[in-house]
Structures are given as C-alpha cells and as structure tokens.
Amino acid sequence: MAVGWDEGMDPRSPPACPRSKETRPGMSFVTIPPPPLAIGFANPLLLWGLAAASLPILLHLLNRRRYREESWAAMRFLLAAIRKNQKRIRLEHWLLLTVRTLLVACAALAMAQPYLESTGAVPLLAGRRTHRVLVLDGTMSMSYAAAGRSRFSRAVEYADAYVQGARNGDAISVVLLGAPPRVVIGAPSPNHAEVREELEQLSPSHGKADLEATLSKIREVLDASDLPQKEILFLTDLQEGTWHVDPDRESAVKRAVEALERERANCVVVDLGDEVRSNRAVVDLALDTPVVVRGGPLSVISARLASFGSATEAGVRAQLVVDGRLGPERRVDLPPGQEVPVAFSYRFEDPGDHVVEVRLEEDRLPVDDTRRLAVPVREQLEALLVNGDYDPEPFESETDYLAQALSPSEGSDRSPSPIRVEVATEAQLSRRDLERYDVIFLCNVSRLSRGEVEAIDGFLRLGGGLVVFGGERLQPDEYNGTLFAGIPGSEEFEGPGFLPARLGAVVDSGAETAEQLALAPEFDPIGFEHPIVAIYQGAPAQVMAGLTGVRTWRSHDLRVPEGSTARRALAFTDGRPAVLTMPRHRGMVVQVATTADDDWTTWPLHPSYPPVVEQMALFAASGRMSQRNVAVGQPIDQAMPEGASPASAVIVRPDGREEPGRLVEEGGATRLVFDQTDLAGVYLARLGPPVARELSFAANPDPVESDPSRADSATLSALFPRWTFSSWDGGPVSQTAAATVGRRGELHRGLLLAVLGLVLGESTLAWWIGRRR
Amino acid sequence: MAEYQQYLQPQTLASVEGLGLQARLIVEGYVAGMHKSPYHGFSVEFSQHREYAPGDDVRHIDWKVWSKTDKYYLKQYEEETNLLTYLLLDASASMGYASEGNVSKLQYGQFIAAALSYLVLQQQDSVGLCVFDDRVRRWLRPSGQPSHLKELIRVMDSEPARERTGLGPVLHEMAERIGRRGIVVLISDLLDGEAPELLAGLKHFRHKGHEVVVFHVLDPAEVDFPFRQVTKFKGIELPEELLTDPTALREGYLAELRTFTEAVRKGCRLSDIDYVPLRTDQPLDVALTGYLATRSARTRKGQRRA
C-alpha cells in the first residue's frame, strides 16, 4: 500500500495514462501502473503526530537509563532465573511496546483523518471514480451577507475548492436547492474547469426550498451516471425554513433519503451559516380591496413588518414607494417575534399597472426588506347581470335591485360608479362575449346550455368572477347535473361545472302572515371573517342589524360536499349556508341560496344589500388581480383576454435580463406563462404586436426565509441519520480539505475503534503479564 | 521484663553498643519471656553447685545447702559440663548484605553467635567459635570459662571479608579439626556452593557424631524480592552485573530460591540435621529456641547413650 498526499495530485494534469499494457502491431507501450491503493489525509499536517508513536519507545529507553543500583548477594538465583525466563520476558516487553506504539500511531493517524484513495486497480469499496453532486442552497437566506460576503458566495468558494480538490476522472453535477430545485449541471461533467466556470456564474434565488423535490432531483442526477461511487455535498446555511420538514411530509422525505442511501451515496452537509443577530422584513403587503378601480375610494395599503432578532428594533423607517416615487414614511418599533402592522392610504388616479412597494432600511439580508404589490387599476369593473325573470315594471325584474346596488348612479349624471353594469336576458347570454366582463351575475336563470356552460368555464379560466343567485325559475336537476363542480380530485371536478354546492329542495317557511315572516331565518355573518362581509366587522349594532335583520323565507338548500374547497361567507340562522364562495380555475364563484330581488328575501330592501353585493362583485373579480402577484418560485400565469392575444411576449426580470415568456393557447384563450421567477422584484411583461402592452408582475419572497433561526441538530440527525454534518467557518479552505470532507471519518472511525481495542488490549496484556509477577 | 524482650528485635538490638551486652540482652529478654528456664542441663551425676539465678528451675535448688547457708544453690551435673558447642559463623562478603532498614546478615549472625555463647557459658557448657569465609579465618577452641565470652566476642566481631565463600571445603576442614563430639551450629546464608556440596559438608559433621543446627540467615529482600523499578544488580561475590526489570524476574528468582532451600531442608531432614531458616527482621529468640531444641535432643540422646 502506498501512501500519497493529495496535494501531489493535480486535477488539472492530463488524464491518467491507460493502466493496462497495450499492444498494437509494431509498437508496444508499457505504462507504469499507479499504486493500487493509496491513502489520502484530510489533515496531513497532523501526521506529525505520528512522531508521538516513538514516545513509548523513548519512555522505555529512558526508563532503562533511570535505574537504581543494588549490591546483591543472591546473584546466582537471579542469574538462573534470567537464564530461564529471558525469552519470555523479552517477548512480553516487545509485545507491550508494540501495542503501545501502535496505540499512539493509530490515534495520530485517526486525527489526520485518512481515507482510502484507490486508483481503480483494486476493486475495493473505496477510491474508485466518484460522481460528486454539489448541492448549493439557493434559497433567499443564502443572500445574507456578513463581512461583505454573502453566504452564497462562500458556498461557491467552497464548491470551487471542492471541485479543484476532486480527482481526475471524478464527474461533477451541480444542483441548486430551491423550490423548484434547479439542476445546473445534470449530466455528470468530468470537465472540472467547466464546472468551476459554471459555479462562478451561479447566483442564489430569492425563493424557499423544497427539500423533497430537491432530493428526488438529486436522485435523478445520480441515476444519470454509472460511476459506482457517489457523493453528495450540500452547501447550506441549515436555516430552519429550508430544512424544516412538515410532519406529514416527513415520511416522504425519509423515503427520498433512503432512496439516496440505496444508491450508496455518501451525503455530507457543510454548514455555512453564521450567527445571525437580527433580520427585519416586510412579511406581508396587501390592499384592502380586491380590485382597484380608477377614481375609487382611498385604498388602504397595509404592510406587516417583523423583526427576527432578540431585541426590539426601535424607530425602524418604513416607506411607501408607488411606481418608484417615494411616498410617506412611518417609524415603528419592532419587538422581536411580533408582526407590526403599518398602514398607508393611497388613491390610484391613473388606470394601468402600478407597483406599490413598502421599504425598510436595508439590513444584512436586503431582499426581504422590500415587498412589492403589482396593482392593476381598472377604468371600471365590468359586470354582466343575466336576468332570468324579465319584467318591464321597475323593480319587478330579477336584476333591478342588483343593478341599482352595484351601480347606484346608473342613469344619473353623477360621478361614474366603479362598476359598470350591463343587463342581459337569459337568451342573450350565449351571444355575449364574456371575456369583456370581470363579473357575471346569474340571477334566477332556469338552465344553461352546454355552450353557455363552456363559455363560463373559459371565463373562469381567465380569472373571471361568477355570482349565482337562486330563484323560482331555477331547475335544480339541471343545475346539479351540469353546473355542479364536484369535489376536488373527482372526475366530475375536471369537467366544466363550477357551482360549489348541489341544490337541495327549496326550504320555505312561509311569508303569508307577519308571524310566519318573523320566524323566517336571518343571516348569520359567521364572525365577519369572510372578505365579503368583513366591512361589517366592528360596525355599530344598528349598522350590523342591516345585515343580520334580513329575513329569508325561501331559499335553496345548498349542499356542500365533503372535501370541498367552498367557504361560507354568510349562513342562515338555521345553520344552512346562505352565501358560498369557491375558487374555480383562476376565477372565483359565489353561490347565493336565495334570490337577487325581494321574491324570497327582504335583503334588497335592507341597507346591507348594496355594500355586500358590491364586495361580492369585487371579491369575485379578485381572481384577475391575484395573477399579478406571486411568491418567488411560483410561475407567472396571466390570462390574456380574447382578441388581445399577442404574437410574442418578453419578460424583463428584476435583474434586467430579458427572457421570452411562453404563450399558451388553451380552450380558445391565451395565457402568458413565465416560470423563472427566482428573484424577488417586479417582472415587466412586454406584449405585442399587434397591440403593444406592458403588464407588471411582482414576486415576493416567502417570509419563512426571513427567519434566520437554524435547524435543530437533533431533528436533522433524526431525519438524516447517516449523513455527515460538518461546518466551515469561512476561513481559508484548502482543496484537500474540501474535497475530502465527505471522506472524513471513513477510516478514522475504524482507527479510533482500533485505538479502543489497543487500549483494552494493552491493559489486558499488562494485567496478564503483571499477574504472574 | 518488656524492656528486655524488645531487644529480641534485631533492629532495636543494633542500637546497643557492644556485642557482649547485646548477647546478654538477648538471652535475658528471651529467658524473661519463658515460663520455664531454658537451662535444662541437669542430670544425675552431680558435679558442682552454682548460685541460683532468676529463671532457674527451683526443683534443682539444693535445699540442704540452703538450710545451712540460707543461700540458694543449684546442683549441677557432670554430663552437662562436658557438652561442647561449636559456633561456625560465616563472615563471607555476601553476609554483609543488608536491605534498607535491616541489620546485615553478618550482624544478625553475630547476635545469634554472641547470644548462644552467652547462653552456653551461662549453662557452664563449653563453646568454641570458628569464623570463616572461603577458609577458616579465626578458630577458638571450646572453653567453659565465663571469661571465655570476651574472647569469643572479640573474635566474632569482625568485618565481612571480600572473598567468596567456599562453604563445602570449609565445612570439611572444620569437621576434621573438631575433635570432641558436640553441637555444631552453622550460621550462614548458604549462598555459595550448591546444595549437595553443602550437605556433604554437613554430613561430615554428622559422621563425626555431632549434632548439627543450620541457621540459614537471609535478608527479607532476598526472601521476598520486593523490587519494582528497573534495577542494576551487582553481584557481591560474583563479578556479574545485571540490569533488569525485577518485576518480570521475581517469579523466576523466587522459584530458584525455593528450589535451593527445599533441597537444603530436605537434605538436612534426611541427615537428621536441624534446619532453621531465619530472616534478619525476625526476633532473635527463634534462633535460640532452635538451638535449645537441638541441645535438648542431644541431651536426651546422651542420656539414652549413657
């Protein structure tokens, strides 16, 4: 066995000569075979400790020099004894000396952390060519910069050293840990220079991590190579948000880990995290209204700020920035572990896309100090009311109350309402171009044709809102058959249906007499939790009575199936749901159990009717706006209205790079899809021709990544029992040390066992020898 | 009484000046500890009177003399006065060895010799002395005169020689030289010469009709071999030097010593020789008891023979 130091092996030197003896006609090569097995050392300097192995010998010699003298009379017995026992004594001495020397040598070797480095001639377990998979943590927390260097750049530095330290013939893959994970180099590359170049160009994302997906990606990468030996090196800050696994996902992650272990992959985690004292972040930014309409009321922009430190940060400045123009500023104290709300009011004057930002003073992790909101401001909200029960008399028609409530100035010359209402009869529905509208109200519509259902389905796919009122003319069997959406996951759910609930029998408590009416059920606002009725939260009792005093003597029995995603906005006091909402495709569906007019209920006569149906319209239309704001890592997916489908789309990313966006044709509609949202910030989509348009999108980081707390080592060792965890403090890193980080402990565990055995052996031997004295 | 007895400890005794005094202290201390006088030498044939000394057996007081003179006299008998004791004291170099805290073997031997001389002379017996190393150094003919003690002590109180012991030849020489039968007391560490050679010498005495007592004097260190650290052993009589780890050798050494002493003991038993192993840290009364046992045996034999 030859001993070689790693420094001697230069990965840049030309590939090793063929090992075998090659014979060609006319010429022959004899190459010197490399040593079949070599030992490398992670800490070669500690090999000087081997000198300590001479200690027992020195002690022995020293002991022999330090003797006492004794004039002895009974010399003849002593001489006789030594004649008989000399061989045995000498043997015992040598044995003991050997054991002691070995003991010290093993301990010194163990400290030098050796590993086997076979050059392939011996098909042993260690030292064959290795497929090394570098997994760099690409989550936002890796942008945390201490002493002018971000964790990610340190990870790259370490990875660079690791690649340089890798042996010739080792193949390297690079994966970025994230959500979704990114495979930088999938096919294992034996060209280390290329890998290093690729590493140089890497930058962290601002996203969070999907550990499970990353592990399965690593598995795929491992499968791509047939090298027998595999090593996976994670370079991460071990942040809690990245490495935390939900209890219900734990078994899946464990399975993924086991799969890696089945591949015989050696998993090593190098911890690059440092002690983080504090971090502040804007963890939430929201508008009070789902849809902003030009000239509407003041919008309230509310942000929530948080400090993840141990001390209160006093006087932190939070500033509102709209479209790059600095706005008002607030000074707040951020106590640790609490979210502090900050509100700004703003009036959006111009229609079009606006970007609202709330900024904090920058700290060491600047990404989460700003949060953005793309706010498309509409000229007006377009609502289509489909009247299922037309009557020329005022307030006799099904939609008269509704039209008046949504657009109170309709027909007058006052300032225009934010909602423009169009009324159509049931028969006209199929001829309307639904894409033009934001919300469609179906009021007491008896049935819908298949074409109409499909049109509405397409409308929902584009993010439109739908409100369905009940009534006498409505045919429950038709509704249940063609309009009911089904349960998520069922085959029915895949169809074009959209209603959150099945219609049961009509519940009638009678309204002939005042007594009967007094017994009719009222509205239960269920704690005003739903956005539709949230405006009533904290309102005075008499105002609230305008909603809760509504009597409804007739209503459909809405039957929400088990496992539905439907949510109750209002219920009746007898417990049945009155208003249900459910997201469908990208849009939102609201189903009301009673009528839009006063045929079944007193609601249109109550003051609560106009504000609640307006909220209903805005809420239903919110699907259009939510497409503009995504979390980092989530794809941008914006529906294009029909007729405006552009030929091309270019996305300008926050880092200035321009990337083409995908335009997906689906069901007659076009969608813009862009999935490289790995950075936080504003993404500008340039559409056209034929019509040049610009759309703003905002991607925001997950607040989980702002929390600098680190993963608990006990949890980690429970999840990844056979992984090696090591840490790097950021000091100079040698190629050898980096490349062998995974091999540490490979031999030294055995050596330490040997030391233990030798210690026991030495004592036993010493006892056994001493026993006979 | 207790004061006397403490002088039976060789270490204590060594602090006393003068072998004569030491001898007296031993014997007095020894006698004081006994219920019965050791002076048993009383037989049928009256020879003379002796003044009573404390510890004497009152049975032998001559009451007739007491009634006349009002003094206590003991009657002594002919046989006893003729008893001869020959002390052979080894003064070879090896006898000079003393481990820490102990008297040397020679000094211990001198204690024994002096005490026996005193005792024997007290009993009106005759005692002779031979001090030897590889050959006879000094030779004093037996005499029963009390003044003889001084001479004995002067002779035996000498330094150890530097030469090796030639025990076998010396014993033969002595056996030839001693004429009258008596008790031969050999005081030696027996460290020179092999057991057969030694036993042959002792048998020579037996052959001449002597009773023989062997006081085998060894130092405790020689018996126990208590050394732990690496030691260079320098032979006192042999020129060899040996640097060794004594713990490793101890067992072997003790086995060798045991083999030797067993051989001597066995040979002595077969030849009807009293063998008394002694350690220099042992009280001296053991030696005296050993002697007296032999003497009484001799006396009994003499009676039988008579």
**A596 and A676 share a domain?**
no
A253: in domain: yes
- Are the Cβ atoms of A80 and B256 closer than 8 angstroms? yes
The answer to whether A751 touches A109, Cβ cutoff 8 Å, is: yes
Domain extent, residue A355, equals 280-378
Q: What is the pLDDT of residue B181?
A: 79
Question: Which residue would you say has higher pLDDT here, A54 or A667?
Answer: A54
pLDDT reported for residue A25: 38
pLDDT tens track for B15-72: 666 666 666 666 666 665 554 444 444 445 566 777 887 777 787 888 888 899 888 8
A74 to B222: CB separation less than 8 angstroms, yes or no: yes
Q: Which of A73, A81, A93 sits opposite B252 (nearest CB)?
A: A81
A66: nearest CA partner in chain B: B230
Residue A111 has pLDDT above 60, yes or no: yes
Q: What is the mean pLDDT of residues A444-462?
A: 88
A597 belongs to a structural domain: yes
The predicted pLDDT at position A12 comes to: 40
Q: Residue A75: which of B230, B235, B255 has the nearest Cβ?
A: B235
Cα-based angle A115, A121, A125 (whole degrees, multiple of 5): 45
Residue A13 domain flag:
yes
Cβ of B234 within 8 Å of Cβ of A63? The answer is no
Better-scored residue on pLDDT, A120 or B107: B107
DSSP letter (8 states) at residue A535: G
Total tally of structural domains belonging to chain A: 5
Residues A619 and A636 in one domain: no
Report the pLDDT averaged over residues A422-442.
Answer: 88
Task: Tell me: do A557 and A512 sit in the same domain.
Answer: yes
Higher pLDDT, A744 or B105: B105
Whether A449 is in a domain gets the answer yes
Domain boundary among A325, A354, A378: A378
Statement: residue B285 has pLDDT above 60: yes
Is 3.40.718.10 the CATH classification of the domain at B83-305? no
Cβ–Cβ gap B256/A66 under 8 Å = no
The residue whose two tokens read 């006893």 is: B80
Sign of the alpha-carbon torsion through A737, A740, A742, A746: negative
- What's the rounded mean pLDDT across residues A715-744? 75
Amino acid A616: pLDDT: 92
Q: Which two tokens stand for residue B269?
A: 């038993």
Q: Which residue of B has its CA nearest to A768?
A: B248
Which pLDDT score, from 0 to 100, does residue B174 have? 85
Q: Which of A584-588, B14-18, B52-56, B149-153 has the lowest mean pLDDT?
A: B14-18
Question: A605 and A687 share a domain?
Answer: no
- Model confidence at A708, in pLDDT bands (50, 70, 90)? confident
Query: Is A588 part of any domain?
Result: yes
pLDDT of residue B298: 61
| pLDDT beyond 80 at A15 | no
- Report the distance separating Cα B127 and Cα B118, nearest Å: 9
Q: What is the DSSP letter of A481?
A: I
Among B102-116, B136-150, B289-303, the least confident range: B289-303
A229 and A94 in a common domain? no
Q: Which of B193, B192, B216, B194 is nearest to B265 (CA)?
A: B216
Measure the CA–CA gap between A335 and A283, rounded to whole angstroms.
Answer: 14
pLDDT of res. B207:
87
Question: Mean pLDDT across the stretch A211-229?
Answer: 85
**Do A556 and A431 share a structural domain?**
yes
Residue with tokens 């992670």: A42
Chain B nearest-CA distance from A719, in A, is 56
Max CA-CA distance within chain A?
Answer: 144
Q: Do B234 and A70 touch (CB under 8 A)?
A: yes
A433 membership: H or E segment, kind and range: none
Do A483 and A608 sit in the same domain of this protein?
yes
End-to-end CA distance of chain B: 38
Identify the H or E element spanning B31.
helix B19-32
Residues A205 and A305 in one domain: no
Predicted pLDDT of residue B82: 59
Find the CB nearest B248 among A66, A79, A773: A773
Pairwise CB contact (< 8 Å): B236 & A85: no
- Report the chain A residue with the minimal C-alpha distance to residue B104: A73
Label residues A48-87 b or e (16+ Cβ within 10 Å = b): ebeeebeebeeeeeeeeeeeeebebbbbbbbbbbbeebee
> Could you tell me if A271 and A152 lie in one domain?
yes
Question: Which among B189, B231, B237 has the least Cβ separation from residue A70?
Answer: B231
- Helix orientation angle between A211-223 and A250-262, rounded to the nearest 10 degrees: 20
Domain assignment present for A754: no
- Res. A33 pLDDT band, cuts 50 70 90: very low
Residue B306 scores a pLDDT above 60 = no
Report chain A residues whose CB lies below 8 A from the CB of B94: 73-74
Partners of A771 on chain B (C-beta within 8 Å) are none
Higher pLDDT, A699 or A667: A699
Residue A763 lies in a domain: no
Instruction: For residue A316, list its beta bridge partners.
Output: A332
Of B231, B234, B256, the CB nearest to A77: B256
Q: Which of B252, B254, B185 is CA-nearest to residue B216?
A: B185
Q: How far is CA B15 from CA A85, A442, B105, in A?
A: 42, 132, 16
Residues A107 and A160 in one domain: no
Q: Is the pLDDT of residue A26 over 70?
A: no
Whether residue A16 is found in the same domain as residue A96: yes
Q: How far is B132 from chain A (nearest CA, A)?
A: 17
* Mean pLDDT along residues B211-228: 88
Encode burial over A612-629: b for 16+ CB neighbours within 10 A, e otherwise: bbbbbbbbbbbbbbebbb
A60 contacts on B by Cβ (under 8 Å): none
Rounded Cα gap, residues A627 and A46, in angstroms: 60
CA separation for the pair A415, A404 (Å, rounded): 15
Specify the pLDDT at position A124: 43
Cβ contact A89–B245 (<8 Å): yes
Chain B residues with CB-CB distance to A67 below 8 A: 229-232, 243
From CA A773, how far away is CA A93, in angstroms rounded? 14
Residue located via tokens 């300590």: A52
Mean pLDDT over residues B199-208, rounded? 88
Band (A603; pLDDT cuts 50, 70, 90): very high
Residues A237-265, mean pLDDT to the nearest whole number:
85
Compute the count of residue pairs across chains A and B with CB atoms less than 8 Å apart.
102
Give me the DSSP letters along A607-673.
Answer: TTHHHHHHHHHHHHHHHHHHTTEEETTSPEEEEEPTT---S-EEEE-TTS-EEEPEEEEETTEEEEE
The 10s digit of each residue's pLDDT in A543-561 is: 888 898 899 999 999 999 8
Give the closest of A64, A67, A76 to B238, CB-based. A76
Q: What is the average per-residue pLDDT within A135-157?
A: 87
For residue A736, name the pLDDT band (cuts at 50, 70, 90). Answer: low
More confident residue, A82 or B296: A82
pLDDT at residue A170 tops 90: no
Contacts of B247 in chain A (CB under 8 A): 770, 773
Asked whether residue A770 is domain-assigned, the answer is: no
Chain A contacts in chain B segment 186-205 (CB below 8 A): 189, 191
Mean pLDDT over each residue of chain A, to the nearest integer: 82
Span A20-25, average pLDDT: 37
Answer yes or no: are the C-beta atoms of B62 and B51 closer than 8 Å: no
Question: Which B residues 253-292 touch A at CB under 8 Å?
Answer: 253, 255-257, 260
Q: Are residues A422 and A537 in the same domain?
A: yes
**What are the contacts of B69-75 at 24+ separation with CB within 8 A?**
B73/B49, B74/B42, B74/B49, B74/B50, B75/B42, B75/B46, B75/B49
pLDDT interval class at A121 (50, 70, 90): very low
Whether pLDDT at A22 is above 80 = no
- Amino acid type, B202: L
CB contact under 8 A, B232 and A69: yes
Q: At a CB cut-off of 8 Å and minimum separation 6, what does A495 contact?
A: A485, A486
CB-based contact, B242 to chain A, within 8 Å: yes
Q: In this structure, what CATH number is given to the domain that contains residue A728?
A: 3.40.50.410
Q: Is the peptide bond before A180 cis (omega within 30 degrees of 0)?
A: yes
CATH of the domain at A359: 2.60.40.10
Contacts of A69 in chain B (CB under 8 A): 231-232, 234
Structure confidence by residue, pLDDT tens digits, A282-305: 999 988 887 888 777 788 899 999
In angstroms, rounded to a whole number, what is the distance separating the alpha carbons of residues A234 and A245?
17
What does the pLDDT look like over B98-115, one tens digit per residue? 888 888 888 888 888 888
